[in-house]
Structure 1
Amino acid sequence: MPYRERTEQHYDSLTLGLKKVGEALLANPILFATRSAKQIAEVLGVSETMIVRFSKAIGFDGFGELQKDIQQTLLAGPVVTDENPGDHENPFGQVMSSDVRNIQKAAAEMDAAVAGRFVDILAESETVQVVGYYQSFPFAHWFAFLLNTLTGTASLYRPETDIGIIKQGSDHCVVIFSYYRYAMGTIRLAEEARNNGNLVLVITDSSHSPVVRYADHTLVLPGAERSVLEKGPVTFSVMNTLLLHIAKTLGKLDFINPANQYYVK
C-alpha cells in the first residue's frame, strides 16, 4: 500500500505529534522525498526520532523504506480511475477531465501577488534567459519562444552550447523551470544567476525545491505529488496566464493572433 493510503488509514490512531508529521507528508511529499530525516525534523520543528516513529506507525520498516516509496510514487505516471463509471467508453476524456481539475486547483491556489511580480519583471527586463533541463526543457522552450515573440528580449538556455549565465546585474532576468527530481545543472545555473545579481524567477512544484533558495520570486504549482504528465497541463496554463498579462501590460494583445506571418490572414 502506498504511503498516502497508509497515512490516511492510520491517521486517527496517531498521536498529535505523529499527526503533524503525517499532515506535512500529505501536503508536501517532495520534502520527504528529497531530505534526510534530520532535515525534515528541523523543518517541522520535531525530533528526528519522531520522523522514524511515524514511518513505523504507518507500516514501514523505517524512514528509508518510506522515502523510497514516496520517490517511486512521485516518478510514477498518472493513474486513471473509475471516478465516473459513465465514462468507460472514453478513457481519454477521463484523463483530460483530471487535467481540468488540476488546473482549477492551481488557479484557486495561485499566489496572485507573486504572479504579478513575474509579469512586471518579465515585461521590464533588458534580457530574459529561460532555463529548463530534461522534462522541464519543453516548458522552457515554449515559454522562451512566445515571450521573445512578445518582447524581443527572451532566449532559451541551451546546455549543449551555452557555457553558463554570463550577464551581470538586475537588469537581466533568469527564469527557471525545475521539477522533481531537480536537475543539478538547473541548480548550478540558478546559483550562477544569483551570484551575478540577476533577478531569478523560479517555477517549481514545491517550496522545498533545492532551486528555491536562489530565487527572488517563486511560483509553486500545487500538487507536488503529481507526475510529470499531470504537471504539464498545469504548467502550460500558468505560462499562458503570465504571457497574456505581459501582453496586456505592454499593450500587445494583438500578438495572440498575428496575421502577417501566416497563409490564413
Structure 2
Amino acid sequence: MLDRIQASLPSLAPAEQRVAKLCLADPRAFAKLPVTELADRAHVSKPTVVRFCRSVGYDGLSDFKLKLAGTVNEGVPFIHRSVDADDKTGDVMVKVIDNTVAAFLKYRNEASNAAIERAVLALVAAYKSGKQIQFFGVGNSGIVAQDAQHKFFRLGINTTAYSDGHMQVMSASILGPGDCVIVISNSGRTRDLMDACDIARKNGATTIVITASGSPLASAGHIHLSADHPEGFDRYSPMVSRLLHLMIIDILATCVALRIGGGKLQPLLQEMKNNLRSKRYA
C-alpha cells in the first residue's frame, strides 16, 4: 500500500502530496489520527485529506485508514524475494509461491472496491445493451487478454481480444458509446496500447485499464484497476504480474456473472457443457 502511495506522488496535487508524505512518514499514526489532526499536520483542509484517499484509489478516508491499519499492523506474511542463479529447486519453488501469495495478499489489502464496482457496472451495461467488450494486451498481457475473452464469451457476451497493435487501433476506431475496452499492461508504458486506449476513449467507449499505479496508462482510461507488485516490469519472464492480472479478470468475470443472474446463465452453461461431452473420453 505504501509503495502504491509512493508511486502516485508525481500525479497528485501539491496539497495532496503533503498528505501523502505525512502518511509515508508515519503510516501507523496516520491510521489512528482523526481527520482534523491529519489536516492540521499536513497544513491542508479536511476535504483535501479525503480527496487524497480517493486519488490513490480508495473509497474515502475510512476505507483508506482501514486498509492502511491492516497493512502496517498485520503486515503480509510473505515477502518478495528474487530468484538467484545458485538457488536449488526447493528454493525456487518456495520463492515463486511466496512471491505470488505476497502479491495476492497485497492486492486484497489495497484493491479499490469502488473502482472494481465501476468497472463491473460498465461491463454489465455493455452486455445488457448488446454492445461490445474488447480486451487489449501485447506480449505477456496479450495472453491474459485472450484468457479474459475466453471467460467472458462463455457468459454470452459479445467480446473479442486483440494482441496485435494494428488490430487494436482498427478495433478501437470502430468502438462507440456503450462499448467497453479493457486494456491490460504490466508496465503501463506500451505505445500501441496507449494509442488504442486514446482512440477508444475519444470515440466514447468506456476504457478500463489494468496496470501499475503512476504509469501513463493508469491515467489514460476512465477506470483504473491498479495492479501493483514488487516485480519489475523489465523482467524477462514476468510471473507475478501475469497471475495478478488473471486474478483481476477472474474477479470481474465473477462479479459480472452474478449481476447477469443464474436464471440466464445456468441454461447456457449447461448446454455448453452437454455439447462438450462428446469431446472427452468416457
Partner in structure 2 of residue 231 of structure 1: 241
C-alpha distance in structure 2 between counterparts of 1:105 and 1:138, whole Å:
23
* 1:218 counterpart SS class: strand
Residue 169 of structure 1 aligns with an amino acid whose one-letter code is G
SS of 1:79's partner is coil
Distance 2:82 2:231 in 1: 12
Q: Distance in 2 between matches of 1:88 and 1:138?
A: 27
Between 1 and 2, higher relative CO (CA 8 Å, sep ≥ 6) is seen in 1
Does residue 185 in structure 1 map to residue 192 in structure 2?
A: yes
Counterpart Cα distance in 2 of 1:98 and 1:192:
36
Match of 1:135 in 2: 140
Question: In the alignment, which residue of structure 2 is the partner of 1:246?
Answer: 256
Q: Give the stretch that moved more between structures: 118-127 or 195-204.
A: 118-127
Which of 208, 219, 239 pairs up with 1:213? 219
The alpha-carbon distance between structure 1 residues 250 and 188, as it changes in their structure 2 partners (threshold 3 A), is: same
Q: C-alpha root-mean-square deviation of aligned residues, in Å? A: 3.3
Aligned to 1:259: 273
TM (normalized to structure 2)?
0.60
- Residue pair 1:164, 1:192 contacting (<8 A) in 2 also: no
State the 1:164 CA deviation: 4.0
- Partner secondary structure for residue 173 of structure 2: coil
Q: How many residues align?
A: 198
Aligned equivalent of 2:94: 93
Distance 2:239 2:118 in 1: 27
Q: TM-score, normalised by structure 1?
A: 0.63
Deviation (angstroms), 1:96: 1.1
Deviations 1:97-128 (A, max 9, x none): 32112101101111111111111211221111
1:130 touches 1:174 (CA, 8 Å); kept in 2?
Answer: yes
Q: Distance in 1 between matches of 2:194 and 2:260?
A: 31
1:145 alignment partner, one of 128, 131, 150: 150
Give the secondary-structure state (helix, strand or coil) at the position aligned to 1:223. Answer: coil
Distance 1:155 1:164, change over 3 A: closer
Structure-to-structure mapping, 1:111-130, within 5 angstroms: 111-125=112-126, 126-130=131-135
Q: Please, which runs of 5 or more residues in structure 2 have no aligned partner? A: 16-79
Q: Report if aligned partners of 1:205, 1:224 keep a CA contact under 8 Å in 2.
A: no
- Indicate the residue corresponding to 1:102 in structure 2: 103
Q: Structure 1: which 5+ runs fail to align?
A: 1-23, 33-39, 47-76, 82-86
Q: Between the two proteins, what is the percent identity of the paired residues?
A: 18
Q: Tell whether 2:202 aligns with 1:195.
A: yes
C-alpha displacement of 1:168: 4.3
